[in-house]
Copies of this chain bind each other. A is one copy, B any other.
Amino acid sequence: MNKYSWVWVLLLCFSVILNLLLASYVLINEGNSKILSILRSSDEENELSWTRRSAKEAEDVASISCSGDGRAFLDGILLTANHLEGANGGDPLPSCECNSCYYGADCSQFSPDCPADADSGDPIFLEPFWMKHAESSAVMVAGWHRMAYKFGYEHGTFISKELERLLRELHATVGNANTTGKFMVFGAGSTQLLNAAIYALSPQDPPSPTRILGSIPFYPLYKSQTDLFNSKNFEWEGDTSMWKNTSLPSEYNSSVNFIEFVTSPDNPDAELKEPVLLKGPSVKTIFDHAYYWPHYTAIPAPANEDLMIFTLSKLTGHASSRFGWALIKDQEVYERFLNYMTLNSFGVSRDSQLRTLKLLKVVLGTGKELFEFGHRTTRTRWESLNKVLSASKRLSLQKLIPRYCKYFQNVTVPSPAYAWVKCEKEEDENCYEALLRDGGIIGRHGSNFHAENRYVRLSLIKSQDDFDWLLKRMTALVSQEQVREGYGGKTI
């Protein structure tokens, strides 16, 4: 071989090596492509079609920040063209709805003069649980979802059988109510069911209207709703105290019927209550168990009364869905209940029933998490407020004792939904005007619950922002009191 041949051989070797490298790239790449194409086809299987747009829209709205002190909702007021436009530069976005005392387009401004509003029973303390379980609690409603009046099975009812099944399962799991042998009726929150219950328990066209009673302090709707309907069948009688442990006054002969509302735990004072009226064929009882869940109270035993009312509002925190249910032992009472629900509103929104179904699946599917989270929050808030008020001589809280809770299998410390604050000094007979107003604290006056205005109800179940501000205001109020007491001591 001549010297040129070596050049040819070297060039050839180089070329062959390059070929081998390139060929191995091609082979590896083809393999990857195959894997990619398999992945891609499985992606396509998971691909969404008609749901993608509204899913994206919900995620876009959820991602509007509102500085963590507010929330944008799908049905919020839309920002006008002058404001921020949607991510796609087209559709306007809903504006932020700020927590109390926060303001500005993104809720980033705080108003330090703003009073702490602890008035309403909005159960927003459970919102973080639902944010955590965003994936499992979301529900996609098709435009054609269940348009008819009735659920199609059997002879048609206004009630989702799946939802009824889950509610029974939930009561069995929590152990707060015995549903065996009881009928179930749905209503727009417990609200609509309260009057339905009175209707169902009162005789039609009686010689004398059925008398409705509650024990002070009681939930004001019992009276205001009864008054609203101004029925010939029933009327508001008042407080149970005059009948306490005594036989009925002689002017009430056996032809007079009574219905007693028993709220347990009570709203406002969180006590577990028992009926006050003597039992008898002319006395019926409506047990309002809105707060009989482990968030708010120890569960000593399953409730097993003839007529019990529950509401989603205080179970999951979805006050806005207006969903409640009644458990009813007697078939005739049940049928009158159904008749009331039919003629008042043709049953409960099926949209609310669908959403409730999804929420209950999460509650049942996450063990004790909702109740542990709920109880931890209310307990912590109650303890914080208690600590602050223990330093005050002018303000006190209701006394609640630890109890054994069958659900948590433990003695649990109190965790009420509301603080029932009392102004202790004789001259502070209007607690709000004498004390709380100047401290910038808004609560619900005792007279709302037909009690003295020496009492004020403060909500412990609003948002964390709301509670934090309440605690700050209350701490300032108590410090002020201590400073005054101190100066007082010195000047005398």
Which A residues lie at the B interface, using CB under 8 A?
Answer: 1, 4-5, 8-9, 11-12, 15-16, 18-19, 22-23, 25-26, 29, 36, 46, 48-59, 62, 71, 73-78, 94, 97-98, 120-124, 126-127, 130-131, 133-153, 160-163, 187-189, 191-192, 195, 199, 204-205, 221, 224-225, 228-233, 317-323, 339-340, 343-355, 357-359, 362
What's the nearest-Cβ distance from chain B to residue A137, in Å? 3
Point out the residues of chain B lying under 8 angstroms from A191, CB to CB: 343-346
What's the nearest-Cβ distance from chain B to residue A183, in Å? 19
Judged by DSSP, the binding face of A is helix
Query: Is B140's CB under 8 angstroms from A350's CB?
Result: no
Query: Is A143's CB under 8 angstroms from B137's CB?
Result: yes
Question: When chains A and B are docked, how far (Å) is the Cα of A329 from the Cα of B293?
Answer: 44
What's the nearest-Cβ distance from chain B to residue A450, in Å? 16
Query: Is A55's CB under 8 angstroms from B57's CB?
Result: no
Which single residue of chain B is at the shortest CB-CB distance from A99? B152
Kindly name the residue among A1, A74, A148 whose own CB sees the greatest number of chain B CB atoms within 10 A: A148
User: Do A58 and B148 contact each other (CB < 8 Å), given the known contacts A18-B19, A204-B230, A343-B228?
Assistant: no
Point out the residues of chain B lying under 8 angstroms from A71, CB to CB: 144
Query: Is B230's CB under 8 angstroms from A74's CB?
Result: no
Please, could you name 8 A-B residue pairs with CB atoms under 8 Å apart, sorted by A?
A15-B19, A52-B135, A75-B353, A130-B142, A139-B140, A148-B319, A191-B345, A229-B229
Point out the residues of chain B lying under 8 angstroms from A4, CB to CB: 1, 5
> Beyond the given A54-B139, A55-B140, A322-B345, could you list 4 further A-B residue pairs with CB under 8 A, ordered by the A residue number?
A26-B26, A46-B52, A148-B319, A149-B319
| 5 pairs of A and B residues whose beta carbons are closest in the complex | A137-B143, A22-B22, A15-B15, A97-B152, A51-B55
Point out the residues of chain B lying under 8 angstroms from A229, CB to CB: 229, 231
Question: When chains A and B are docked, how far (Å) is the Cα of A160 from the Cα of B94?
Answer: 12
Task: Tell which of B8, B48, B139 touches A59, judged by Cβ atoms closer than 8 Å.
Answer: B48
Point out the residues of chain B lying under 8 angstroms from A29, CB to CB: 26, 29
Query: Is B126's CB under 8 angstroms from A147's CB?
Result: yes
Question: When chains A and B are docked, how far (Å) is the Cα of A349 from the Cα of B453?
Answer: 33
Query: Is B318's CB under 8 angstroms from A147's CB?
Result: yes
Task: Tell which of B56, B123, B322 touches A48, judged by Cβ atoms closer than 8 Å.
Answer: B56
Point out the residues of chain B lying under 8 angstroms from A130, CB to CB: 142-144, 147
Query: Is A143's CB under 8 angstroms from B153's CB?
Result: no
Point out the residues of chain B lying under 8 angstroms from A343, CB to CB: 191, 221, 224-225, 228
Question: When chains A and B are docked, how far (Å) is the Cα of A322 from the Cα of B73?
Answer: 22
Query: Is B141's CB under 8 angstroms from A138's CB?
Result: yes
Question: When chains A and B are docked, how far (Å) is the Cα of A358 from the Cα of B352?
Answer: 15
Point out the residues of chain B lying under 8 angstroms from A317, CB to CB: 147
Query: Is B228's CB under 8 angstroms from A138's CB?
Result: no
User: Do A50 and B56 contact each other (CB < 8 Å), given the known contacts A228-B199, A228-B344, A349-B188?
Assistant: no
Which single residue of chain B is at the shortest CB-CB distance from A163? B75
Task: Tell which of B53, B126, B187 touches A135, judged by Cβ atoms closer than 8 Å.
Answer: B53
Point out the residues of chain B lying under 8 angstroms from A353, CB to CB: 75
Point out the residues of chain B lying under 8 angstroms from A224, CB to CB: 343
What's the nearest-Cβ distance from chain B to residue A187, in Å? 8
Query: Is A345's CB under 8 angstroms from B192's CB?
Result: yes
Task: Tell which of B140, B233, B322, B358 touches A347, judged by Cβ atoms closer than 8 Å.
Answer: B322
Point out the residues of chain B lying under 8 angstroms from A358, CB to CB: 54, 143
Point out the residues of chain B lying under 8 angstroms from A76, CB to CB: 162
Query: Is A138's CB under 8 angstroms from B127's CB?
Result: no
What's the nearest-Cβ distance from chain B to residue A226, in Å? 9
Which single residue of chain B is at the shortest CB-CB distance from A357? B75
What's the nearest-Cβ distance from chain B to residue A366, in Å? 12
Query: Is A74's CB under 8 angstroms from B344's CB?
Result: no
Query: Is A138's CB under 8 angstroms from B354's CB?
Result: no
Question: When chains A and B are docked, how far (Å) is the Cα of A294 from the Cα of B41?
Answer: 46
Point out the residues of chain B lying under 8 angstroms from A352, CB to CB: 349, 351-352
What's the nearest-Cβ distance from chain B to residue A197, in Å? 14
Question: When chains A and B are docked, how far (Å) is the Cα of A19 from the Cα of B97?
Answer: 65
Query: Is A149's CB under 8 angstroms from B120's CB?
Result: yes
Point out the residues of chain B lying under 8 angstroms from A344, CB to CB: 188, 191-192, 195, 225, 228, 344
Query: Is B124's CB under 8 angstroms from A148's CB?
Result: yes
Point out the residues of chain B lying under 8 angstroms from A126, CB to CB: 147
